[in-house]
Structure 1
Amino acid sequence: MPVPSAHEFHWQSLACLSSARVYHSLADVGGQLYSAGGCDASGQPCSTLELYSPEVDRWLSLPSMPSSRAGAGVAVLGKQLLLVGGMGKEQRPLKAVEVYYTDEGKWRKRCSLREACMGVSVTVKDGRALAVGGMGPDLLPRSVFQQYDLRKDVWALLPPMPTPRYDTSICLLGTKLYVAGGRQCKRLVKAFEVFDMETRSWSSLPSLLCKRSYSGVIWDSAGRFCWLGGLRQGGLHQSSKFTKNVNIFDTNQGVWLKSEDTVPLKTKRADFAAAIVRGRMIVAGGLGHQPSVLDSVEAFHPEKRKWERLSPMQTPRCSASSIVMRDRLLVAGGVNQVPSAAHEILYVKEEEIL
């Protein structure tokens, strides 16, 4: 199927969240969009759970989470929505694990983490949640790797990561779990490691090419890790700088592509939404050298090998939560000087939205 041209992409504003927020968790459960928790306009974590209804274009309020939290790890296990750790009141890590049963409309507290953790990265394999790393109550990074069985309601420890960290980028490809980057307190981590489910062992991969934060991360269908833009950490007596660099790691070959084989973004940016829509890498919004947040959007054309400008977002912002559903990018909340309640969708014009 040919990729769409730039003019075929279209943004549309949908119903706003019930309140402005940031660091909320979005999840697709059975084709339905849920938003859980986040920080409100006063910076406090909230317990809000909402379901977006495209039929009436509004967010429906659902039973609140037992624990207020922001930045929680989220996993979908069948019809259940699992929330793991995150930041609670007084900006402290949480150990609470809770599950929302969508068919019953009820929350249940489940087996807690062994210790409170925020910045946990979560994915799912064979109906079980895998949780990687995190920051503990002492604000130090963890190397813990654990697996949750919903049916038995139990956490089992797996071999720990070689490099302790939190806020990592993870991707499960077949029987291998890739873990890239992350943080250790104020230090950025360049470590890139992979866990083999069959041998139950960790291996080190060639490290990330530089230290930069707030990058866009995309794992494409060819098994490539695409690391886009971000804020490059300055050296001694040097300030950090926004970048438009694009680095790509090919997991099949186990190497980073050469710089001449990648194409930089048009605009230097960090803290933006990034996704693949209809075969095209998309970057939207974020922060740049400008004093205000960005509304600009770019899409990479694989045949032309260049980034093209798309129509801008209707609400400029950074730190937005985003998710791809049915080949459409949904961007909700975020920050534009203050937290935003905006909710927009990027889709191809020939299609009906949602």
Structure 2
Amino acid sequence: WIEKDIAPLPIPLDHTSSAVYNGKIYVAGGFLEKKVPTDKLFIYDPNKNKWEEGKPLPTPIGAAINAEFVDGIMYIIGGVNSSQVPVNTNFAYDPQTDTWSIKSPMPTARHHPQSSVIDGKIYVIGGRILGDGIRSEDIDPTLTNFDRNEMYDPKTDSWTIKEPMLSKRSGFAAVVSEDGKIYVIGGQGVGKVTNSVEKYDPLLNKWIYEKPMPTARYGMDAIYSDNKIYVLGGQVLDPEKTPLGLNQVFHIKKNLNLSP
């Protein structure tokens, strides 16, 4: 890790939406202290080791999707507002003009969803729909985890409700394989942490279960590389909320877990 002389974020934040585009890192929204959402947009240039401030979001937002770039436009969808209420907003940012526009809202207001881009369309999957439920370490105390799968087409500015996941979840990981399938992994289910893995085929609009993870967990990250899914870190259900150092690998073609 390199920390010395690297410019930190201008302000402390968590639950931001971030993405990389044309060699720059864009960080939008997120929570300040006491889970207060912000409308800030920060842009980091690694070559200059410098942060700049872009035009603020139309409204403060936290716990939205990861920022997704499609055809040079960044989309921030869902999250919670300053009243800690889930929203269905859809904001589009053009880095060439430093301007935001308001797009067609998502059918279902929610926060803590996952998102994936396939063929220029954004799939927003799962998340939470009711209650405060903002802290990712809570295990669905009000049964608000959600199975909804909604697809946004930026070219037509329209939404299509797709086949929902087989199980409700938030705090899960998601990756896209090279053959255009979405894998959702683990997370917080209904009253428990799950180790289940689902695969979505956009062409068939169908979900199926894949081989489960060896360890049920949530709040982890997942990376797809060379027909393998690496699932890193996370937490299990314990009072201390202890983070994990696990790195478990799923081989897609062999349907085989390669690590204990």
TM-score by length of 2: 0.85
> Residues of 1 paired with 2:218 and 2:32: CA distance?
26
Q: How many angstroms does 1:290 deviate by?
A: 6.8
Q: How many angstroms does 1:253 deviate by?
A: 1.0
Corresponding residue of 1:130? 75
Aligned partners of 2:235 and 2:243 also within 8 Å? yes
Aligned partners of 2:115 and 2:174 also within 8 Å? no
Matched, 1:70 2:14: yes
The percentage of counterpart residues that share the same residue type is 24
Corresponding residue of 2:50? 106
Matched, 1:226 2:176: no
Write out per-residue CA displacement over residues 309-350 of structure 1, whole angstroms, 9 at most, x where no aligned residue.
Answer: 16xxxxxxxxxxxxxxxxxxxxxxxxxxxxxxxxxxxxxxxx
> Residues of 2 paired with 1:113 and 1:224: CA distance?
31
Corresponding residue of 1:272? 220
Aligned partners of 2:181 and 2:202 also within 8 Å? yes
CA 270–276 in structure 1, closer or farther in 2 if over 3 Å, else same: same
TM-score by length of 1: 0.64
> Residues of 1 paired with 2:150 and 2:114: CA distance?
11
Matched, 1:182 2:127: yes
After the TM superposition, which residues 166-315 of structure 1 pair with which residues of structure 2 at under 5 Å, given as runs?
166-184=111-129, 185-186=132-133, 187-233=144-190, 240-257=191-208, 259=209, 262-288=210-236, 293-309=243-259
Corresponding residue of 1:344? none
After the TM superposition, which residues 339-354 of structure 1 pair with which residues of structure 2 at under 5 Å, given as runs?
none
> Residues of 1 paired with 2:238 and 2:63: CA distance?
29
Give the match's secondary structure for 1:243. coil
Aligned partners of 1:84 and 1:120 also within 8 Å? no
Corresponding residue of 2:85? 140
> Residues of 2 paired with 1:80 and 1:130: CA distance?
16
The residue type equivalent to 1:208 in the other structure is M
Q: How many angstroms does 1:89 deviate by?
A: 2.6
Q: Which has the higher contact order (CA 8 A, sep 6+)?
A: 1
Runs of 4 or more consecutive aligned structure 1 residues displaced over 6 Å after TM superposition: none
Unaligned runs of 5+ in 2: 134-143
> Residues of 2 paired with 1:295 and 1:62: CA distance?
25
> Residues of 2 paired with 1:309 and 1:137: CA distance?
42
> Residues of 2 paired with 1:134 and 1:285: CA distance?
23
Corresponding residue of 1:341? none
Give the match's secondary structure for 1:203. strand
Computing the radius of gyration from Cα coordinates, the structure with the larger value is 1
Q: How many angstroms does 1:67 deviate by?
A: 2.8
The residue type equivalent to 2:212 in the other structure is P
Write out per-residue CA displacement over residues 285-320 of structure 1, whole angstroms, 9 at most, x where no aligned residue.
Answer: 33336775444432222343221216xxxxxxxxxx
CA 63–306 in structure 1, closer or farther in 2 if over 3 Å, else same: closer
> Residues of 1 paired with 2:110 and 2:12: CA distance?
24
After the TM superposition, which residues 69-88 of structure 1 pair with which residues of structure 2 at under 5 Å, given as runs?
69-88=13-32
> Residues of 1 paired with 2:256 and 2:49: CA distance?
46
> Residues of 1 paired with 2:11 and 2:236: CA distance?
35
CA 140–246 in structure 1, closer or farther in 2 if over 3 Å, else same: same
Aligned partners of 2:93 and 2:99 also within 8 Å? yes
Query: Hey, which of these two has a bigger chunk of strand by percent?
Result: 1
Give the match's secondary structure for 2:217. coil
After the TM superposition, which residues 12-91 of structure 1 pair with which residues of structure 2 at under 5 Å, given as runs?
15=1, 58-91=2-35
Corresponding residue of 1:118? 62
Write out per-residue CA displacement over residues 189-215 of structure 1, whole angstroms, 9 at most, x where no aligned residue.
Answer: 221100123332110011122222322
Corresponding residue of 1:160? 105
Write out per-residue CA displacement over residues 49-75 of structure 1, whole angstroms, 9 at most, x where no aligned residue.
Answer: xxxxxxxxx333333433331221112
> Residues of 2 paired with 1:302 and 1:99: CA distance?
35
